[in-house]
């Protein structure tokens, strides 16, 4: 149906859910007496859900659990390529390969990624797709393409102004060249 399911097993072992044992055993025995025909469907549904890779939260603080779950959901959503890569042939595999190098989960780290290849191979497109997918993970972000060409035409000061104005979201910056 095009939906993604992320089961959350909060203070319960997924194998207990899968096999309806442990804390699940007694209630299912009771339900089986009253709802005989429905319990088989319930058991099959729980077995199916327990086999889906999800989030197992076992006696950790609720805030930590929520942060972990939100991170997993964000990561799953950021991997939706359809809107960003529409019409870009072969981009999904390139982005997945780049994603393995990014280590976005290292929140306190500064990362620099270099992409090199012959001209016309899609380096800028790959960088722009990755930027669109992951920029929301950061407080501020900026994408500047064709740095060499722009610096040769307009100089580095123009690039610096562009960078700072995008980061500060201020187009009326008055940055002057410091000459000594």
Mean pLDDT by 10 residues, the chain (180 residues): 72 83 81 81 84 78 82 66 66 73 61 77 85 76 86 89 83 65
The reply to whether 58 and 14 lie within a common domain is yes
Residues 129 and 147 in one domain: no
92 and 130 in a single domain? The answer is yes
When divided into structural domains, the chain yields a total of 3
Instruction: Pull the structure tokens for residue 177.
Output: 């060249």
Q: Is 68 inside any structural domain? A: no
In this structure, is residue 100 part of a structural domain? Answer: yes
Residues 125 and 147 in one domain: no
Helix (H, G, I), strand (E, B) or coil at 76: helix
Q: How many CB atoms are closer than 10 A to CB 178?
A: 6
| 151 occurs within a structural domain | yes
Which run of H or of E encompasses 152?
A: helix 147-154
| 1 within a domain of the structure (yes/no) | no
Residue 67 maps to a domain: no
Strand partners, 80: none
Residues 151 and 171 in one domain: yes
Dist CA 2 CA 11 (whole Å): 29
Beta-bridged to residue 9, according to DSSP, are: 56
Which pTM value belongs to this model? Answer: 0.47
Return the pLDDT at 139: 75
Asked if the structure places residue 168 within a domain, the reply is yes
**74-95 as b/e, with b when 16 or more CB fall inside 10 Å?**
eeeebeeeeebbeeeeebeebb
Q: Which domain holds residue 28?
A: 8-62
Residue 153 φ then ψ, to 5°: -80, -50
Please report whether residue 3 resides in a domain.
Answer: no
């Amino acid at each position: 149906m095009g939906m993604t399911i992320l089961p959350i097993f909060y203070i319960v072992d997924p194998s207990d859910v899968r096999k309806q044992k442990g804390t699940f055993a007694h209630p299912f025995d009771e339900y089986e007496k009253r709802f005989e025909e429905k319990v088989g469907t319930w058991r099959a549904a729980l077995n199916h859900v327990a086999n889906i890779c999800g989030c197992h939260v076992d006696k950790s603080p609720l805030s930590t659990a929520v942060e972990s779950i939100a991170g997993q959901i964000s990561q799953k959503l950021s991997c939706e390529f359809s809107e960003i890569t529409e019409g870009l042939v072969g981009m999904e595999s390139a982005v997945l390969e780049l994603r393995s190098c990014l280590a976005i989960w290292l929140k306190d780290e500064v990362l620099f990624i270099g992409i090199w290849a012959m001209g016309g191979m899609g380096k800028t497109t790959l960088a722009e797709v990755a930027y669109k997918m992951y920029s929301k993970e950061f407080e501020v972000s900026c994408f500047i393409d064709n740095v060499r060409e722009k610096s040769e035409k307009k100089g580095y000061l123009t690039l610096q102004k562009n960078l700072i104005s995008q980061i500060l979201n201020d187009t009326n910056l008055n940055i002057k060249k410091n000459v000594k």
